[in-house]
Structure formats: structure tokens, C-alpha cells
Chains A and B, each alone.
Chain A
Amino acid sequence: MITPEWAAAAPTLVLGVTALVLFAFDSIDPESSNNPVLAGIAVVGSLAAMGVSVAYLVAGVGDPAVELYGGQLVVDGMALFFQVIFTSVTALVALASYDYLEDMRHQAEYYILLLLAATGMSLMAAAGSLAVGFVALELASLPSYGLVAFLKQNRGSAEAGLKYFLIGALSSAVFAYGISLVYAVSGSLLIDAVAGSVRNAGQPGVLGVGVLMVLGGFAFKTASVPFHFWAPEAYEGAPAPISAFLSSASKAAGFALAFRVMTVAFPIEGVVGAVDWVLAVQVLAVVTMTLGNFAAATQENVKRMLAYSSVGHAGYVLIGLAALTGTGDGGLVLGAGMIHLLVYGFMNTGAFLFIALAEYWGVGRTFADYNGLARRAPLACVAMTVFMFSLAGLPVGGGFVSKYYLFAGAVNAGVWWLALVGAVNSALSLFYYSRVVKAMWIEEPAEGVDVSSYPSTLYAAVITAAVVTVVLLPALGLFSGFAFDAAAAVLF
């Protein structure tokens, strides 16, 4: 508990206020090229929000859950845990953007949109009603469309922004329609109240369609099949730090809302007569994992490979929902999904920031262009190697532990075949991740690649992400309890 109660929403408020400070700074000095101040405000603001959410998590503010505005906002352990993910990714991305945006126009707008999107994500994690969830999802999505198209003179970026926007608008419509159907059956938008009235719902058909449509909205935000088409295009066309932001933070935000809505509003034992959404998520998880990893294995472009691998990782995290069969420990597997998103927030952000570094140097986009990069930039390449092996699930980083938790949770819940598919996919993913490592360390360097400068903040962000990824391997044991407790508190 905390007094005053509204202070429980502090991580979201800090992010919002930081965006307003950036607005004010840009009003005083429009067309500012004072990049250090802009990046500094964004980094300090997101670090402050991260500090607050970590402090709240440790102090147990979310236990028992704090309900604000009659339950419209719920600040519990899960909300705070996800807010830690969003704020840390935002801080890394803002730090890396300092060098990436060098000499570009509209820098203030870039950081403002970044912070506004982070505010929306933080609100998504704490949404206590479907209406707040929808508005927060839009607050997170609309700035993202602008950010993807930020390099507006670049055809790829503009095209990616348009595709992202069109698919986003479509899935928002599907999501909103699903909410309206759920409301028609349950008569409430509050997640808790929906749970009470769907148990003996009068119109199971309408409820079933509504639940599936809501699930479709989450599939878009998390880049899962069947709404994953935008992901490779958007991640490839966007500025690389934004690809990092979208594929880590935005995906985690989608899962934050999905975890809360699916588990709290539609408890499976209550709605199984209308729709067996656990079965639907199981199918989605298998298809998403397999499709993402196979598509990634066939790519020649490193950024596109990472985009498809990001789709594959959405499939792994979906196990967190797919294994809520009622048998076994639901809190274990849901918490494992949260932990995987935390680790993924660092290792995947780091990998995309390495791409940003390569774009900064003007290195090409394919695997072959990375040949021999380790001789010119050994430190960054060590970091990239850590990211790649951790993404594949080798025990060099936290990715090993979080995948282990996920698969163990799935086996514990009696869906061992999900764990099997996940393990086979992880083995496949090692193939294409190691191609990057092989290119960097073993292949002979190509002629003409010139690594002349070492951008300090981009380097700092990549190294920080790598250090945290490695540290998470032993450290996860210390605080994974937070995730498991938070997940269990949401479930029961």
C-alpha cells in the first residue's frame, strides 16, 4: 500500500511529465539541434520512472493491488514488473538515439513520441478496464506509427510506417469490436466485473466471438500470427533504435494487457463453454514459433532475420498463456512468460542497437556485410555474440534461464508438446543466430568497410544491454520470485 493512493501510478506519471518537459523545451527552442539536452531529458526521465517502479516492486507497493479511480487502473506486481521492462528499454533506446540521430532534423519530436509511447505502454500494464486498455493501446500505437516513418525521406521507412498504420488501424477496429461484444454479454468494461458475469453468460456465441477478436487485437500488438505481417516490414524500415523499441517494449506491452485481460476477465474454467481460448492460444503459439523461426532461417538481411526471430519469441511467450490449462502451477508459467519478456527486453534491444551501430558505420545489411567486423570493433561484437547466443537460449545470458522456466512450466502444466516444439525451434534458431557470429568472427573481412568512429552513447547502450543480459543469468534466481508472485496474484 502507499499513501496518497494516486502515487502508485508514479511510473506512468513520470514518463508523461518527461514528455511534457520535452514539449516545453521544444516550444522554447524550436528546431533545436541541442541533442545532448533532449536525449538527456529523455534518458533521465525514463531512468527516474525505472527507479520508481523498481523501488515500488521491491517495497511491495503492488501487494495487495492498489486500485485507482474505481478500478480503472490497477497497480499490482505485474503492472510494476512490466513497467520496469518498458522504462529500461526506453532508457536504452533514448541513450542510443543520441548518436543515431546525429545531424537529423525533428529530434525533439522523436524523443517526445518515444516518451509518449512509453507512457501508453506503462498505462497498458496498469489498465483495469477494457476501455482504459484500448485507449492506452492507442496511446502506445499512434506515436509508434510516427516513429517508424521517422526517416521520412527514406522510402523504406515511409512504406513501413504506412503498412504498420494500416494493419494497426484494422486490428484496433477488430479489438474495439471484440470489446463491444464482450460488453454486450457481460454489461461491464471493468476487467474484474467482466469475470463475474461471463461465468454463466447468456449468449456464449457472442462472447466467444468477442474473446477471439480481443485476442486478435493482442496478436497485432505482440506481432503474433495471424497479425504478424507488419513486423518484418516495420522493423526493417524503421530506424534501428525504434525497431528495438517496438520489438521489445511494444511487444511486452501487448503481452502485459493480454495476460491481465485473458486471465482475469476470461478465466478459462468460466468461459470454456463459450470459447476454449487456451486451445486457440496453443495453436497460435505453435504456429507463431514455427513460422517465425523458419522465416528467420531463410533471411539474408540481418535486421529482417531479427524481425522474424522477434515473431518467434512472441510464440515462446505465448506459452505463458497457452499452458494455463488448469493443471499444474499457472503462476509458474505465466511468471516465466514475464521473465522471458524482461530478458528479451535487454537482449533483443541490444541486438537491434548493434544493427543501429552497423547502420551508423554504413556497414551493409546482409550477413556477408558483417564479415570480419570483429577485427574492427571487437567489443561490440562480443556484445552481439552474447545477444545472439542468449536469444538462442545458450547459457551465456538470461535467455537460457527464462526459456528453461517457460518450458518447465509448460511440462508442469501437462502440455509437454508445447515445450517440445519450443525446444526444437530453439535448436533451429541457433542455426541462424550463429550465422551472425560466424560472419563476425570467422569470415574474412570484406574490402571497403571503414569503421572510423566509435559513437560513445550507442556503444554504452549496447554494452549496458550486454552486461545486463549476462548478469541476468545468475541474478534471475534472486528476483524471479517477484514475477512468480505477481503472476500468481493475478491468477487467483
Chain B
Amino acid sequence: MSNPWIAIGALTLVSIIIPVSMVVVSALLRPSVPEQGKTAVYESGEVPTGDTRIRFNIQYYMVALLFVVFDIETVLIFPWTVIYRDGVQQFGMAQTLVPMLVFIGVLVVGLAWAWRNGAVQWVKSTRARDTAGSTE
């Protein structure tokens, strides 16, 4: 008889109505005092400097990508080490070890390629090089 979806639907409805009604009611009740300081970027009471869009070095992205290689490797090696001993007993060395070696081999080829093509070579921007030169 009582459909559990009715309760969930009612809960959804309430959870939408509460925030919307709070915003609407406060917008109706509060006095409106526009002031320049209110529209400024909030930086913990500090005077804001610059805007929110900064450029950061694209090479962080390459490092993150290389991290994924090791990350996936770990995720798959961990369970493999747990069952390794049983696996060798049941299926023999060749069927247990070789697939993992092939997998790691493929990743090593990829890593070596990325390394040789300069993914981990840290290139400084010309501006960073100039400021470094002026402080020395």
C-alpha cells in the first residue's frame, strides 16, 4: 500500500522548498543597502590584488598525467600481489607472472616515451627566468 517513493518524493520537495523559500523570504524582508565594498572580491579582509584568473604552469598537468600511470599500476599490482602465491600454486609461474610483466612493460614503454619527449623536463617561462636573473 504505502509506496516508499512517496516519502522520498516528499523529502525531495521539502529539500527544494526550504532553501528556495529562505532565499525568497530574506530577499523580501531585508533592507537593500548597495555599497561598493560589498561587491569587492573577498580575500579574508585583505585588499584584493589582481583578478581570479591566474595562469599556472601547464607542466603540472604533465606531472599529473604521469602520476596516473603509476596510480593505475599500483591499483592493479596490489590485488595481484595478494593472490600471487595462490596463483602460482594453482596455475603455475607462467600464467601468473607473465601477464603482469606484459602490463608493466607496456606502462614502462609509455613512461620512457614521455620521459624522452621531455614530459618531466622542467622548462621555466621567460618571465620566471628574468626575475630569477635579476635577484641573483
Give every chain B residue within 8 A of A30 (Cβ-Cβ).
Answer: 116-118
> In chain B, what residue has the closest Cβ to A25?
B113
A303 to chain B, nearest CB (A): 32
Give the contact stretch, choosing among B35-43, B45-53, B65-73, B104-112.
Answer: B104-112
> In chain A, what residue has the closest Cβ to B106?
A20
Give every chain A residue within 8 A of B115 (Cβ-Cβ).
Answer: 27
> In chain A, what residue has the closest Cβ to B114?
A27
* Among A20, A27, A31, residue most surrounded by chain B Cβ atoms (within 10 Å): A27
Main DSSP-derived SS at the B contact region:
helix
B43 to chain A, nearest CB (A): 33
- CB contacts between A and B, total, < 8 Å: 23
A264 to chain B, nearest CB (A): 28
B128 to chain A, nearest CB (A): 24
Q: How large is the interface on B (under 10, 10 to 19, 20 to 34, 35 or more residues)?
A: under 10
> In chain A, what residue has the closest Cβ to B105?
A20
A27 to B118 alpha-carbon distance, docked (Å):
10
- CB distance B109 to A23 under 8 Å? yes
A28 to B117 alpha-carbon distance, docked (Å):
10
Is A24 interfacial (CB-CB < 8 Å)? yes
Binding site for A on B (CB under 8 A): 106, 109-110, 112-113, 115-118
Is A138 interfacial (CB-CB < 8 Å)? no
- CB distance A20 to B109 under 8 Å? yes
A477 to B50 alpha-carbon distance, docked (Å):
72
> In chain B, what residue has the closest Cβ to A17?
B106
Is A26 interfacial (CB-CB < 8 Å)? yes
Instruction: List the 6 closest pairs (A to B, CB-CB), nearest first.
Output: A27-B116, A27-B113, A23-B113, A27-B112, A30-B116, A30-B117
B105 to chain A, nearest CB (A): 9
Give every chain A residue within 8 A of B112 (Cβ-Cβ).
Answer: 23-24, 27
Give every chain A residue within 8 A of B110 (Cβ-Cβ).
Answer: 23
Query: What are 23 sample pairs from A and B whose C-beta atoms fall under 8 A apart?
Result: A20-B106, A20-B109, A23-B109, A23-B110, A23-B112, A23-B113, A24-B109, A24-B112, A24-B113, A26-B113, A26-B116, A26-B117, A27-B109, A27-B112, A27-B113, A27-B115, A27-B116, A27-B117, A28-B116, A30-B116, A30-B117, A30-B118, A31-B117
A479 to chain B, nearest CB (A): 35
Give every chain B residue within 8 A of A23 (Cβ-Cβ).
Answer: 109-110, 112-113
A31 to B110 alpha-carbon distance, docked (Å):
16
Known: A24-B109, A27-B115, A27-B116; 12 extra A-B contacts, CB below 8 A, are A20-B106, A23-B110, A23-B112, A23-B113, A24-B113, A26-B113, A26-B116, A26-B117, A27-B112, A27-B117, A30-B118, A31-B117
Flag A10-25 by CB within 8 Å of B: 1 or 0 each: 0000000000100110
A128 to chain B, nearest CB (A): 19
A27 to B117 alpha-carbon distance, docked (Å):
7
* Among B106, B112, B116, B118, residue most surrounded by chain A Cβ atoms (within 10 Å): B116
Give every chain B residue within 8 A of A28 (Cβ-Cβ).
Answer: 116
A305 to chain B, nearest CB (A): 38
* Among B106, B109, B113, B115, residue most surrounded by chain A Cβ atoms (within 10 Å): B113
A26 to B115 alpha-carbon distance, docked (Å):
11
> In chain B, what residue has the closest Cβ to A29?
B116
Give every chain B residue within 8 A of A26 (Cβ-Cβ).
Answer: 113, 116-117
* Among A20, A23, A24, A30, residue most surrounded by chain B Cβ atoms (within 10 Å): A23
A20 to B117 alpha-carbon distance, docked (Å):
15
In chain A between 434 and 485, which residues have their CB closer than 8 angstroms to a CB of chain B? none
B87 to chain A, nearest CB (A): 16
A27 to B110 alpha-carbon distance, docked (Å):
9
Give every chain B residue within 8 A of A24 (Cβ-Cβ).
Answer: 109, 112-113
A30 to B112 alpha-carbon distance, docked (Å):
11
Give every chain A residue within 8 A of B117 (Cβ-Cβ).
Answer: 26-27, 30-31
> In chain A, what residue has the closest Cβ to B110?
A23
